[in-house]
Structure 1
Amino acid sequence: MKILIADDHELVRDTLAMFLENEADMSVDASPDLGDACNQIAKNGPYDLVLLDYAMPGMDGLTGLTKAIDASAGKPVAVMSGSAPRAIAQEALDAGAIGFLPKTMGAKSLVNAVRFMVAGETYVPVKFMTEEVVEDVNPLAKGLSSRELEVLGGLCRGLANKEIARELDLQEVTVKLHVKTLSRKLEAKNRTHAAMIAKEAGLF
């Protein structure tokens, strides 16, 4: 079976690919962003399963999921994330994803989940969706919009406004406005200070 893994973190891509390629009947291709993934689907597909990182460049929330589903022409597409809450997992399923995989999954669980989804069955870890816990919302995040959090995440990764704009498919001037608003809300002196405050609060 042919699997495509799309994730902007090379270490994550390589690790997941290694887990799957240890299986005799699995071959894996990799992409660093949604655009490249869609190109690979068109060029090398169809894939038996496409795994998309929720936060990689080009995804723009779950808009990228829809694009990948359209490109896959009926073949299953799943979303993975290391931090998205269960609400996002449910939204992904509602939008047509065959499954949602936390990146904390072990190798054996990942392989089993992939086989399950290739067979056409929806997969989400039961514990992830049903565990009775209060969503862990960082106090610092409560006053920020989802877009502001995305921009702040870019600042914490040391990205320039232009890079954040490209990643989130926004105008650079819009990112500048978000940075200004973030600095005001976080009482930060500048973008570097805002990123420092976020990291010290454990937000990223």
Structure 2
Amino acid sequence: MRILFGYANGVCRDFVQNHLLDDLSKIQVMTASTLGQCIELTGDAKDIDVVALDLNMPDMKGVQGLSRMRGALPNEVPVALMGHTLDPQQMRDALRLGAAGFLPYSMTSDALLSALRLMASGEIFIPVSVAEHVQIAKPSTAKDTFLSKREREVLDGLLSGHSNKQIAERIGLSEVTIKYHLKSLRSKLGARNRTHAALRAIELGIG
């Protein structure tokens, strides 16, 4: 797995080095200290599996820097944010701008690697502390009438950052059934994968 990290300070550098030092035989790490440098390094984008950006980089301008990074990458390359914390509104804004997740500095090494692999496989990673508040409130409209009750439940789990197994346990169905509903959900939303389905739902105002 090849990861591009963009970080501006020692806290984030230590976070990356301390958590990934023992796993350098399994992963390749590229680093940059500004968003601009990260974008310059995307000439090898075909080989990058995940990009993780420190919110404190001077040219990030908060979550808005995501748009610039996303514009320099193929759609299938996930981009995550890193930082001490991210409030629910920032997380919602980040998802709208194409973020694949958020990596808090408080993560353990195992959790960080699992999250990176999860996002590299096309999933969204949102810490539980953020996910439980990140649901987007919306008025009831005709936009979501084409989704079945089960598809709505699967979508809710998807937007909360849950895996298929977690969604299955949450609503009392098998993983096979969840995959069936997810396939139908992706088809109705015109989405390529789970991450794109979540973003499409937010764009359509049904997330």
Within 2, Cα distance between the matches of 1:113 and 1:19? 12
Alpha-carbon distance, 1:61 to partner: 2.3
Alpha-carbon distance, 1:18 to partner: 4.2
Contact 1:21 1:27 in 2 (8 A): no
* RMSD of Structure 2 on Structure 1 (CA): 2.1
Residue-by-residue CA offset, 1:102-131 (whole Å, 9 max, x unaligned):
111111111110010011101111233216
- When the two structures are superposed, what TM-score results if normalisation uses the length of structure 1? 0.59
Within 1, Cα distance between the matches of 2:4 and 2:17? 9
Alpha-carbon distance, 1:11 to partner: 4.3
Alpha-carbon distance, 1:21 to partner: 4.4
User: Which residue type is aligned with residue 61 of structure 2?
Assistant: D
Equivalent residue number for residue 7 of structure 2: 7
Equivalent residue number for residue 26 of structure 1: 27
Q: Which has the larger radius of gyration?
A: 1
Within 2, Cα distance between the matches of 1:25 and 1:9? 25
Within 2, Cα distance between the matches of 1:10 and 1:45? 29
Return closer, same or farther for 1:21/1:45 CA change in 2, 3 Å cut-off: farther
Question: Are positions 1:79 and 2:81 aligned together?
Answer: yes
Residue segments in structure 2 that go unaligned for 5+ positions in a row: 134-207
Aligned pair count reads 132
Look up the SS of the partner of 2:51 in the other structure: strand
Residue-by-residue CA offset, 1:30-85 (whole Å, 9 max, x unaligned):
11110111111125754100000112111112221111111121211111111331
Residue segments in structure 1 that go unaligned for 5+ positions in a row: 132-204
Contact 1:81 1:102 in 2 (8 A): yes
Within 2, Cα distance between the matches of 1:25 and 1:67? 29
Return closer, same or farther for 1:127/1:35 CA change in 2, 3 Å cut-off: same
Identity of aligned residues (%): 31
Equivalent residue number for residue 98 of structure 1: 100
- When the two structures are superposed, what TM-score results if normalisation uses the length of structure 2? 0.58
Return closer, same or farther for 1:78/1:54 CA change in 2, 3 Å cut-off: same
Within 2, Cα distance between the matches of 1:92 and 1:52? 12
User: Which residue type is aligned with residue 68 of structure 1?
Assistant: M
Look up the SS of the partner of 1:87 in the other structure: helix
Look up the SS of the partner of 1:62 in the other structure: helix
User: Which residue type is aligned with residue 58 of structure 2?
Assistant: P
Contact 2:86 2:130 in 1 (8 A): no
Return closer, same or farther for 1:18/1:29 CA change in 2, 3 Å cut-off: farther
Contact 1:13 1:30 in 2 (8 A): no
Alpha-carbon distance, 1:14 to partner: 4.1
Alignment of 1:160-179 (within 5 A): none
User: Which residue type is aligned with residue 109 of structure 2?
Assistant: A
Equivalent residue number for residue 67 of structure 1: 68
Within 2, Cα distance between the matches of 1:52 and 1:89? 14
Equivalent residue number for residue 110 of structure 1: 112
User: Which residue type is aligned with residue 33 of structure 1?
Assistant: T
User: Which residue type is aligned with residue 6 of structure 1?
Assistant: G
Alignment of 1:125-140 (within 5 A): 125-130=127-132
User: Which residue type is aligned with residue 16 of structure 2?
Assistant: L
